[in-house]
């Protein structure tokens, strides 16, 4: 099982929205079964899942203390991807969650405030030695700020080419436990979520390739 953690110090960056959307995108792409875990005391992701009618993706309650054991059990149960939502802070507890990640996604709004706060999340991922990438979220269309933000972020790490734009359907779709993939499967928002999932998935394939190449070189 691959564990994907959504983390960023900034509240409102889009962690919860992306956790739900990426898990649904993965299920719809046939890459599941997927499981969601909410480590934010505000429990927005859990609340979303509770009003959701569809069974998939699954949801697994877990306290921070239980997390390592829980992930092991979920892997044994056959889940392919786990998506973990986190609170907007940099605390020791988030550090332990990020340490469990196979991949960390850092949702970032293209705003000066959010960009200034990126450093600490990157430090955290670097500290625990986990691969990560930025995902630009809530971007205004045709905004120079988005281009500038992507350039600035790329100095700190990989930036997903798929940009999630600022659209009401992202928020509106989640009211009754759905995502844009269900409320507007042919819409632009659905298209960018599908593209973002393809990017995240490709990071696992790339890292596997890199490992295999290394193995070949070593003998």
Q: Which residues bind ligand ADP (CB under 6 A)?
A: 11-17, 44, 88, 137-138, 164, 166-167, 170-171
Q: What is the smallest separation between the CB atom of 43 and Mg ion, expressed in angstroms?
A: 9
Q: What is the smallest separation between the CB atom of 131 and Mg ion, expressed in angstroms?
A: 22
Residues 6 or more apart from 78 whose CB is under 8 A from it? 33
- The smaller minimum CB distance to ligand ADP, of residues 44 and 96, is found at 44
Q: Does 109 bind Mg ion (CB under 5 A)?
A: no
- The smaller minimum CB distance to Mg ion, of residues 44 and 96, is found at 44
HSE-CB for 94 with a 13 A CA cutoff:
22
Q: Does 86 bind Mg ion (CB under 5 A)?
A: no
Q: How far is the first Cα of the chain from the last one, in angstroms, to the nearest whole number?
A: 28
Q: What is the smallest separation between the CB atom of 73 and ligand ADP, expressed in angstroms?
A: 26
- The smaller minimum CB distance to Mg ion, of residues 17 and 100, is found at 17
Residues listed for the chain: 219
Instruction: Note if the bond before 127 is cis, omega within 30 degrees.
Output: no
- With CB under 5 to 8 Å by kind, the binding choice for 79 among ligand ADP, Mg ion, none is none
- With CB under 5 to 8 Å by kind, the binding choice for 132 among Mg ion, ligand ADP, none is none
CA–CA dist 57, 41 (Å, integer) = 21
CA–CA dist 91, 96 (Å, integer) = 9
């Amino acid at each position: 099982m691959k564990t994907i953690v959504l983390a960023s110090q900034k509240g409102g960056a889009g962690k919860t929205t992306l956790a739900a959307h990426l898990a649904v995108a993965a299920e719809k792409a046939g890459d599941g079964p997927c499981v969601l875990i909410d480590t934010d005391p505000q429990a927005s992701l859990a609340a979303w899942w509770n009003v959701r009618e569809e069974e998939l993706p699954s949801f697994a309650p877990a306290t921070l203390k239980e997390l390592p054991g829980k992930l092991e059990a979920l892997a044994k149960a056959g889940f392919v991807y786990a998506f973990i939502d986190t609170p907007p802070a940099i605390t020791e507890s988030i550090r332990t969650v990020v340490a469990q990640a196979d991949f960390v996604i850092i949702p970032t709004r293209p705003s000066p405030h959010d960009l200034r706060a990126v450093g600490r999340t990157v430090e955290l991922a670097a500290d625990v030695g986990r691969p990560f990438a930025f995902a630009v979220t809530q971007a205004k269309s045709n905004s120079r700020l988005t281009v500038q933000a992507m350039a600035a972020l790329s100095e700190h790490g990989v930036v997903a080419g798929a940009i999630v734009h600022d659209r009401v359907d992202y928020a509106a779709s989640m009211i009754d436990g759905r995502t844009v993939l269900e409320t507007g499967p042919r819409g632009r928002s659905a298209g960018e979520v599908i593209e973002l999932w393809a990017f995240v998935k490709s990071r696992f394939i790339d890292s596997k390739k890199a490992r295999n190449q290394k193995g070949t070189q070593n003998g």
